[in-house]
Amino acid sequence: MHELSLAGGVLKVVEDAAAREGFARVRRLTLEAGALAGVEVRALRFALQALQPGTCLEGAEITIDEPPAPAWCHGCCATVEVRSRLDDCPRCGSARLLPTGGTELRVRELIVHDD
């Protein structure tokens, strides 16, 4: 499952940060899955929950945001926001959109326990 390897990647990022910054436990983790990243958020959440026990993410509150993706519209010559590659321009209805972002899964916020 795609999301399981993504979850493993997220855990690796967090564990690397834990080793670098010397914290043992995460209180809150916020991820950002771009609207065009192809991430099934529910599956990712499930995979992360399965990985949490015994890691620095144990007991952490995990939030996964799905911000809309920026795209350049050739119709109105402006940057607009879309939710999927199939979306038309929300301003002019044109289908001639060029996504310029929103394809990444990244860690946006990592809050750790002080102790």
Region near Zn ion per CB under 5 A, out of 20-28, 51-59, 93-101, 104-112: 93-101
Task: Give the type of residue at 59.
Answer: G
CA angle at residue 87 from 82 to 90, to 5 degrees? 65
| Tokens matching residue 100 | 């310029």
**Binding flag, residue 94, Zn ion (CB under 5 A):** yes
Region near Zn ion per CB under 5 A, out of 22-30, 46-54, 92-100, 107-115: 92-100
Which of 45, 92, 103, 107 lies at the binding interface for Zn ion (CB under 5 A)?
92
CA distance 8 to 115: 25
Size of the site for Zn ion (CB under 5 A): 7
Using an 8 Å Cβ cutoff, are 71 and 36 in contact? Answer: no
- Report the interface residues with Zn ion, using CB under 5 A: 73, 75-76, 89, 91-92, 94
